[in-house]
Amino acid sequence: MKFEDYRISDKLKHNILEKGFKRPTDIQFKSIPAILRREDVLAIAQTGTGKTAAFVIPVLQNILKLPKKAQTGGVICAVMAPTHELAEQITQVFLDFTKDLGISVLCIHGGVSQDDQIEKLTQGIDVVVATPGRLFDLRSQGYLKLEDLKILVLDEADHMLDLGFIKDIQDLLRFIPKKRQTLFFSATINPRIKKLAYSIVQNPIRIQVSPKNPVSKNVTHSLVHVEMDDKRFFLERVINDYSESKTLCFVRTKVRAERVKKAMERVEIEAQTIHSDKSDEERTATMRDFKSGKVKLLIATDISARGIDIPGVDIVINYDLPELAENYVHRVGRTGRGTAKGSALSFCSSEEQTLLEDIESFLGDPLPVQKIDLKTYTDTIDFSRDVHADWKSLMSDNDLLKKPKKRKKKK
């Protein structure tokens, strides 16, 4: 099936084709018809499969079919996202498809002045994409009216739960009509979020894409056993050997993010960091530099792992293994998006063995291990600034980013 076969506006079809969309992905193929029928949808799909377009396209069509547009301060559709980066990304997808449709879209989040957001709301906005904090601030001040809301979308709702937004979401339900369409999209689901989901949606169509394999098949995985104090040397070697690659490196805390950045600077590797201590302006500038390729190494906490579409990420490095096993899926999902190929490399220290076991249990398969001989290991530490030229020869058949043979699954 092609997008041109859907019963949607010709202008919307034109916008879709103009952005290079020809055939729907699995999640789009399964979600769009149900959303067009105005049914509630609970969709679980691996990251990088096109979830955002799966709800943006039919939501726009449903708005076009409404008899009248939003009144001043009121909105037709509200999309909630856990971080401002994801909110901005979703907003851009809406804007890509709204050309000549006469539908207005506004992104609202904290960290910036609310004056411009208030001014645009008073002019009338059809779709608001928001982080929970700023959405509730503007609603409590009377600038954002939700009484006539027709469509509610929660994207990466499990992450909102992790960040403590569950009370905000529950409070939101008191201010919006019970008769509405609710769309719930995420890459993973657990018992807590499942309970929340079913308290929000009504008789939903449940859609699950590749539930037994939550990670994209386009990603090659490797695991290296490296002690905690030695990880910076191995990161240096990978970056030097793949200096033209765009690399996203995940660490556990914002303090470690800054320490790893300084360690890279000591060996003359340029890097930037992104975490919750950064201002919105700093985070926006950092993402812009990384997306454009101006900076090749971005060191991040899990704030950047969820739903962010960063074009051309070649390598994801789990410098620290995530404390939540499902975050492994979100981290490595930053590469291998769409039809692109990517590599995911994880450093595991002896004290992280339990975390590794949790990840492998969640995935249902062990991560392929790349063994490193003692000489290579010690050379990495002793000559970290001098060995990058013959990195591949040192690694020989143990190239960290070469597709390895899988270990047999433990019974």
What is the rounded CA–CA span in Å between residue 91 and residue 85? 10
For residue range 336-363, what is the model confidence (pLDDT) as tens digits?
Answer: 876 788 999 999 999 999 999 999 988 8
State the first-to-last Cα distance of the chain, in angstroms, to the nearest integer: 41
Task: Kindly tell me if the per-residue pLDDT of 409 is higher than 80.
Answer: no
Residue 275 pLDDT level (bands cut at 50, 70, 90): confident
Q: What is the CATH number of the domain that holds 365?
A: 3.40.50.300
Side chain identity at 118, as an amino acid letter? I
333, HSE (Cβ side, Cα atoms, 13 Å): 25
Would you state the pLDDT for residue 53?
93
25 and 44 share a domain?
A: yes
90 within domain boundaries? yes
**The two three-digit tokens of residue 135, written as one number:** 């959405």
Are 135 and 60 in a shared domain? yes
> In the 8-state DSSP scheme, what is residue 367?
P
Mean predicted confidence (pLDDT) in 38-56:
86
Q: 320-334, pLDDT tens digit by residue?
A: 999 988 789 888 888
Is residue 221 within 8 Å of residue 403, measured between CB atoms? no
DSSP code of residue 145: B
- Phi and psi (nearest 5°) for 397? -75, 0
Taking a C-beta distance cutoff of 8 angstroms, is the pair 184, 200 a contact? yes
pLDDT over 90, % of the chain: 42
- pLDDT band, very low/low/confident/very high, at 373 (cuts 50, 70, 90): confident
pTM of the model: 0.68
Asked whether residue 234 falls in the same domain as residue 176, the answer is no
pLDDT of amino acid 384: 77
Instruction: Tell me the one-letter amino acid at 69.
Output: K
CA distance linking residue 348 with residue 356, whole number of Å = 7
- The parent domain of residue 120 ranges over 3-209
pLDDT class of 62 with cuts at 50, 70, 90: very high
Boundary (domain end) residue, out of 158, 184, 209: 209
- Nearest CA to 42 out of 255, 198, 228 is that of 198
In a domain, 361, yes or no: yes
Average model confidence (pLDDT) across the chain: 84
Single out the residue of 165, 107, 272, 115 nearest to residue 173, CA to CA: 165
The lowest-confidence range among 84-88, 157-161, 194-198 is 157-161
Pair 279, 160 in one domain: no
Q: Which of 209, 241, 262 delimits the end of a domain?
A: 209
**406 part of a folded domain:** no
* Distance (Å, whole) CA 406 – CA 222: 9
Examine the domain organization and report whether 327 and 184 are in the same domain.
Answer: no
Token pair for residue 197?
């989901």
Do 40 and 183 belong together in one domain? yes
Last residue of a domain, one of 161, 190, 209: 209
Residue 138 in contact with residue 117, Cβ under 8 Å?
yes
Q: Is residue 407 part of a domain?
A: no
Classify residue 47: in a domain, yes or no: yes
- The pLDDT confidence band at residue 385, using thresholds 50, 70 and 90, is low
Measured CA to CA in angstroms, residue 301 lies from 23, 233, 276, 350 at distances of: 34, 20, 8, 21
- Residue given tokens 């919750």 in the structure block: 276
- The verdict on 391 and 265 lying in the same domain is yes
Q: Is residue 162 part of a domain?
A: yes
Handedness of CA 144, 282, 52, 21 (dihedral sign): positive
199 and 232 belong to one structural domain: no
One domain for residues 154 and 135 = yes
Tell me the C-alpha distance between 26 and 21, whole Å: 13
| Strand ordering across the sheet containing 219-225 | 219-225, 342-348, 315-318, 247-250, 297-300, 272-274
Is 409 within the bounds of a domain?
no
Tokens 């691996």, residue located: 46
Task: Using pLDDT thresholds of 50, 70 and 90, give the confidence band for residue 56.
Answer: very high
User: Which two tokens mark 288?
Assistant: 């812009």
Residues 224 and 201 in one domain: no
What residues are paired with 186 via a beta bridge?
A: 44
The Cα 278–Cα 290 span in angstroms is 15
Residue 42, H or E segment? strand 41-45
One-letter identity of residue 52: T
Average pLDDT, integer, range 57-80: 81
Is residue 405 a part of any domain in this protein?
no
303 and 172 within one domain: no
Domains: count for the chain: 2
Rounded (10°) CA dihedral 117, 118, 121, 122: -150
SS3 of residue 153 by DSSP = strand
Is residue 306's pLDDT more than 80?
no
Same structural domain, 171 and 235? no
The pLDDT, as a whole number, for residue 123 is 84
